[in-house]
Structure 1
């Protein structure tokens, strides 16, 4: 682990930034206070909203923390973002979003709401948020859906901010390294929520790589520190990714059920509800591949959702909010990783302690097993 990363991470545990109101300052503070690295999610917030949460977090902890930004989206789904240098792909069929809106009309009537405006913006206030982070530097900043420009990463480094960028393939990880980031978040297909792919290509739906396989491939190709993400719920799994070459593990779903999480109660309960037995990658709620618990909305609309982010996200936003208000898990985006059945309702700080104890136990078992193998049976 690099010295800069060691300063950020007394423990090799990162709380994933979960947009949509889940990663509250209270959650990030509890994780950081326990020795992990808590993260705020700036996605879907205004620049001022992000700034106010940073101020609140700083009032709760003096420990390092991070802030996650979504990269601006290209004009057409499939076009490259950041510095990957890939050629744009063809846009979806004309009127695909409008056709999807017609399909969702019954949902709007059922929940007594209007559909959202799909043309509500593509950049998520990226430039304004960057300006805030450069004027008021935070210890760490991570990026999803693409790679920031090299001069942006250099400016953040000069400001004292450690930068991390999500990658879902070896090619994306190499692009992150070329751009000058400090670390790569290696996201396996098991991860809950949105896949951080740099180019959203419909032909690749469902073809993601499992975390351990991806980690090994990236480890051999990239010289940066790696943060492993995807389906991790136990300390033994953290031990496995550390043994495979990661410097730390990023966990999202594991922290979703904590009291400090801002997830709706019905979402937390669904993680271990026998009614929800599996997850799938879907475009139903946002137009981008994201892993969630399979519910009615996902089953009925997932097969027809166009590759159009953030248009579909804006379109379905009122539906998701109305379903959450009604406590209807069948109409919500129940983002969750493949390990969701292992969720624990512990306070976030206590969860970090339990994960650390499990990690230590797994390392001891590995060490004892190695000694036994070398010295013969005991």
Structure 2
């Protein structure tokens, strides 16, 4: 009976969102070209793009390119802005520390405006718009639903999941501490002390929510998919597992660093943006753990400072944010469609 309930839950989710396979591409900012999303959608899953750094015209262009390549579903994801934190001393200390890595380049362009990004996503009409780091305001949720667009809310705790459900989310993405990239915590200061593993988080959410749960964090093969679905998820969201595919097109040094990476190797750091993220322990990341290293500047100041450094003399692997989840060593250098299809085929064998 339990197996039948699992299968029905997965079927219901896939039918609702136009999928054949319960695998959602993680919306990884800077690593989600349309080609990767198209490959995932064509394999039966849901493609995605993280648009936190994108101006409205780039959001529209991405969706146009995606629609030209597939009739499958896609998700656009944006960060809900933090309350600004002014800390001139931390900023100065971070600037001085970054100077030790080389001369900075020119300041970058202005950051996108959140309200304009939200409007562009609404106009682009993806199947799903998702949030991370917080919840959308009620009027925007209402506008999404009137347009027939679902809202997925990324959560890291049961309390956040219940708040998302109350606010009108159509599903939650349960992000375990194993996940690569930035933590989706509503409270950025609580990240280090409140990290919950996916397989502890999933049953709690599945038992108490009325809406579907999508599992994210440390899932990179059919075993992880089957386990997540058995624990109550309706689908999985995978990111690191797709980074070594040719469609992702990430920096070659970043891709090479993922090969055979043991699960204990990826570390959490605020060095990239001021927000906690799980990454490869590159020389840049490791330098911020030295005794003489300052605390990174608050988000988004640290992100801006690091971006300016990279426009200067950033070397090798530290040209990019080398994100990695704890199952990075399972990522395959194979076409994305094959990765998704193999993942689901292996999961079905286990679930059967």
Give the TM-score taking structure 1 as reference length. Answer: 0.84
- 1:223 match: secondary structure: coil
Larger radius of gyration: 1
Corresponding residue of 1:105 = 99
Does residue 114 of the first structure (1) align with residue 73 of the second (2)?
A: no
In structure 2, how many angstroms separate the alpha carbons of the residues matched to 1:177 and 1:275? 36
Which range moves more in the overlay, 129-138 or 309-318? Answer: 129-138
Which range moves more in the overlay, 66-75 or 266-275? Answer: 266-275
Unaligned runs of 5+ residues in structure 2 are: 1-8
Corresponding residue of 2:183 = 195
CA-to-partner distance for each residue in 1:71-107, whole Å, 9 max, x for gaps? 122123xxxxxxxxxxxxxx6x542112111111011
Corresponding residue of 1:267 = 254
Deviation at 1:63, TM superposition (A): 1.2
The within-5 A match list for 1:1-378 is 1=9, 3=12, 6-8=15-17, 9-20=19-30, 22-76=31-85, 93-109=87-103, 113-114=104-105, 116=107, 120-121=110-111, 124-201=112-189, 203-205=190-192, 207-272=194-259, 278-302=265-289, 304-306=294-296, 308-320=298-310, 326=315, 328-329=316-317, 332-364=320-352
Deviation at 1:156, TM superposition (A): 0.4
- 1:39 match: secondary structure: strand
CA RMSD in angstroms comes to 2.2
Q: Per the alignment, do residues 135 and 334 of structure 1 end up closer, same or farther by CA in structure 2, a change over 3 Å counting?
A: closer
In structure 2, how many angstroms separate the alpha carbons of the residues matched to 1:273 and 1:258? 15
In structure 1, how many angstroms separate the alpha carbons of the residues matched to 2:213 and 2:265? 28
- 1:171 match: secondary structure: helix
CA-to-partner distance for each residue in 1:124-183, whole Å, 9 max, x for gaps? 422112212323311111111110012211210110111101000111111111110100
2:133·2:154 contact (CA, 8 Å) conserved in 1?
Answer: yes
Q: How many residues align?
A: 339
- 1:176 match: secondary structure: helix
Q: Per the alignment, do residues 153 and 262 of structure 1 end up closer, same or farther by CA in structure 2, a change over 3 Å counting?
A: farther
Deviation at 1:322, TM superposition (A): 5.8
- 2:29 match: secondary structure: coil
In structure 2, how many angstroms separate the alpha carbons of the residues matched to 1:163 and 1:330? 34
In structure 1, how many angstroms separate the alpha carbons of the residues matched to 2:325 and 2:313? 21
Deviation at 1:46, TM superposition (A): 0.6
In structure 2, how many angstroms separate the alpha carbons of the residues matched to 1:275 and 1:67? 31
Give the TM-score taking structure 2 as reference length. Answer: 0.90
Which range moves more in the overlay, 203-212 or 28-37? Answer: 203-212
2:51·2:59 contact (CA, 8 Å) conserved in 1?
Answer: yes
Deviation at 1:276, TM superposition (A): 10
- 1:173 match: secondary structure: helix
In structure 1, how many angstroms separate the alpha carbons of the residues matched to 2:311 and 2:15? 39
Deviation at 1:356, TM superposition (A): 1.4
